[in-house]
Structure 1
Amino acid sequence: MKNEFLTIMLVAVSGIFTLFVISIQPTPVSYADSIFDSCYDDDECTIDMLYELSRNNSTQTVFLTLDELIDLYVDADFYCHPSAHHIGEFLYGYVNRDLSKASELSDHRCAAGIMHGLLENTIQIENMLDGTPIESVDIKKSCEIVSDALGDNAKSECVHGMGHSLIKIYNYNTTQALERCNEFDNWNEIYMCNGGLFMQNMGEYAENRGGDFDKSDMYYPCNQINGTKNSEAATLCYRYQANYFLVHANYDLQTAYSFCSGIPDPKYIPICYKGVAAHLTKDNFDVVDKTILMCNSTPPKYQEQCVIGAIESLTRFVSDEKADQFCQKLDGDLQKTCLARMNSLFDSRFG
């Protein structure tokens, strides 16, 4: 029987064995499996296949495929946050910029990558397609829509995504983008916006050697962020600048740490150590022993920061199981710190 599997069963009925031949149709390969097998972590390939899928299938099929694809990313052996960003960007266009509808697929997987991607180009599109001047673009409205649909935790991730969008619309001018982040309503939202801003700045450097950096000054733009109003912005800047240091250190741990130690204002040195650990943990991905070795190689003064950076990456980008495994391999106060930070991240998830 072509394209069928035969299952033969012997079933006892009233003491008499009866032979049943059951024809079972094989489960077809899902669209998500096909895309994943063809593209893996190639984002351009993935978006091309999703576009073709969307032309000939229902919204329900497209949504199911996107949801299954994110699950495949979570279980894969690569850092899935950037790929989920691209899924979010595709989704935003697919639903004709309907954030309420797009929010149905948004949750904490791949460190809320879909949510960040949804917001990444929102105000750029409003500026370019709708002709709204940059200074008049409402940066808060989108995240209020998301908050109404998914709650406050989702709103925080939404605001982070808006930070990505802001620095892009200001052509990677961190000063102008930071001023717009300050329009948000409270410290937590401003902080999340700043985080997205500096993550995008670093991402642009990593991918295209662009962004707001100065070849003659390793600590720019972080050392230009002055005043108490923006002290937390400088903290986040050095958190992501740590990856810039790693690039220039050819990913050598101790050389990157030496750049951290040279930060002009010493209060930002610990956050840089945390940033180095967070970025290298993503590179180690699920090889927990490498991450343990990294933190053991960190000066004792900054080992707690290494552990915090590592557990943030493991929890958000790898898996709950690997995160717990990492914490369990630590001793004493470091283990307590690790578990506390891990559990706080669990509590902050949405969806």
Structure 2
Amino acid sequence: MKCKAVRAAILGFLLTLAAGVPLGAQAGVEPGLDWTRVTERDLNVASVFLTARDRGPRAALDSLERLAAQDPWIRAKGHPLAHAIGRYTMEQRKDLGVIGECTPRFQSGCFHGVLEGYFLQGGTIDRASVGSICAGQVRGFERMECWHGLGHGLMVHHAGDFRQALTLCDALQADQPRRECQDGIFMERAIRAIGAESINVGDGPGIGGHAHGAEGHEGHATARSLAAGAREGAAARVMAKVAARTERQQLCSGVDSGHQRSCWAYQSMVLMSLNWPHYPRALRGCDAAPAQAVRDCYQGFGKQMLGVSSGDVPRMLEACRQGDPAHATDCLMGGVEYFTDLDWRIEPGIAFCRQVPGEAKARCYEMIGARLTLAHTDPEPVRAACRRVEPAYVRACLAGAGMRES
């Protein structure tokens, strides 16, 4: 138990460094920490940030990828660690241009972390300048990840006030940047609502471990209080727990209609956390969304399901079947988003579409085509990738990319 506590303290120390907090400000780090208990994993994680310091975020992400290939724990924490690399590098360089050294590995966490770091350092932005913050990104997916990271960063900038953050996202003129920025805000809000330990697109630890475990601890505390005869105190805690659960279930209730789709796309994360592992109950929560947002909630559920199961497609297919059949394909579309977001290579998404039921294949490959246009500005790589899908669906892939067969 002591080893675990020491290890947790060391890892917290490393991640706090990564967040850009000066050593002198780290009240939770004890000078007498027993470094003889540092594990190989602790040292491996530390080495990633030494690489970021000495050689920049691209090399650090290469290092993290090599470690993740050998250590399942690091692989599961890849996205929050990539966020931390971005924040740390921003702290070191103090130049937003460092975002150009990020890569899409680990669900593009580095892009998001750089934007968080910008605001953690007191970076400013207003309605006039918000449109230029991601202008330096050349490829479509880089701009998209930059806009998404901006949403996370604005939540940092406004201390979690999502309404203030949204006013700046809404100032973006084009639909896609505006939606990506809004998604970043509502993703950050959902993460905070479930008490996840860090930002994680996959959200496995936050759903299956941290958040669910927290409820278990509350239950044990209540049982002990009842056993001691403190019935009134226990009842108050139960009522507080019920109130908190109700509040999380209704995160989107006070959101205006123009932001409902983004809100419900990540409300699925909250529903999964509250109802884990009862998929039908979580999907019934999606059914309660406004009509225009039900599809977004189901798609978000599919994406989060793959995250919590480390990409287990059969498990995700089964979970998607347990909701309203009319939205089963919407749920499956979360798989295209999940697999292409991993590192913006299209092959994992194509492999996923090969596994979906026949009635969902055309739409699956259409979405592949749409994602390809974000990864490539040149149409030829898009056409070449669409030719690699199942022959019957080449036309669907091209249609999703806005192209025709030549």
Tell me the TM-score normalized by structure 2.
Answer: 0.63
Following superposition, the deviation at residue 280 of structure 1 comes to 0.9
Is the contact made by 1:139 and 1:162 (CA closer than 8 Å) also made in structure 2? no
Distance 2:318 2:59 in 1: 40
Q: Which residue of 2 aligns with 1:64?
A: 59
Q: Quote the Cα distance in structure 1 between the aligned partners of 2:349 and 2:70.
A: 14
Shift of 1:256: 0.3
Q: 2:106 aligns with which of 98, 103, 110?
A: 110
Pair 1:46–1:340, CA change in 2 (3 A): farther
Q: Secondary structure at the match of 1:184?
A: coil
Q: Deviations over 1:297-343 (max 9, x none)?
A: 33320111111012211222387554333311223330111222133
Taking the aligned partners of 2:362 and 2:71, their CA distance within structure 1 comes to: 29
Do structure 1's residue 197 and structure 2's residue 182 form an aligned pair? Answer: no
Answer whether contact 1:239 1:274 (CA < 8 A) is retained: yes
Measure, in 2, the Cα distance between the counterparts of 1:74 and 1:215.
37
Select between 242-251 and 286-295 the one with higher mean Cα deviation. Answer: 286-295
Structure holding more helix per residue: 2
Higher strand share: 1
Please say if residues 91 and 117 of structure 2, whose CA atoms lie closer than 8 Å, have aligned partners that are also in contact. no
Q: Distance in 2 between matches of 1:269 and 1:50?
A: 40
CA drift of 1:70 comes to 3.7
Matched, 1:245 2:245: no
Of 142, 161, 179 in structure 2, the residue corresponding to residue 154 of structure 1 is 142
Pairing 1:299–2:324 present = yes
Q: 1:74 to 1:340 in 2, by over 3 A?
A: farther
Native 8 Å contact 1:88 1:113 kept in 2: yes
Tell me the amino acid that sits aligned with residue 256 of structure 2. Answer: N
Mapped partners of 2:311, 2:52: distance in 1: 33
Question: How do residues 55-204 of structure 1 correspond to structure 2 at under 5 angstroms?
Answer: 58-59=54-55, 63-70=58-65, 72-73=67-68, 78-79=75-76, 80-94=78-92, 96-104=93-101, 106-127=102-123, 138-144=129-135, 146-147=136-137, 150-204=138-192
**Equivalent-residue separation in structure 2 for 1:51 and 1:114 (angstroms):** 13
Where in structure 1 are there 5+ consecutive unaligned residues?
1-36
- Please state if 1:226 is matched with 2:256: yes
Q: C-alpha root-mean-square deviation of aligned residues, in Å?
A: 3.2
1:74 Cα shift?
7.3
Q: In structure 2, what is the Cα distance between the partners aligned to 1:187 and 1:137?
A: 17
The C-alpha deviation readout for 1:30-86, integer Å capped at 9, x for no partner, is xxxxxxx943xx7xx76643444566xx437x7534334246547875443222212
Question: How far off its partner does 1:197 sit?
Answer: 0.7
**2:108 touches 2:342 (CA, 8 Å); kept in 1?**
no
Distance 1:275 1:345 in 2: 16
Q: Does 1:330 align with 2:376?
A: no
Aligned to 1:6: none
Change (3 A) 1:168 1:329: same
1:277-292 mapped onto 2 (5 Å cutoff): 277-292=302-317
Q: Assess, with a 3 A threshold, how the Cα gap between structure 1 residues 198 and 269 changes in structure 2: closer, same or farther.
A: same
Structure 2 residue matching 1:67: 3-state secondary structure: helix
SS at match of 1:126: coil
Q: Identity rate of aligned residues, in percent?
A: 21
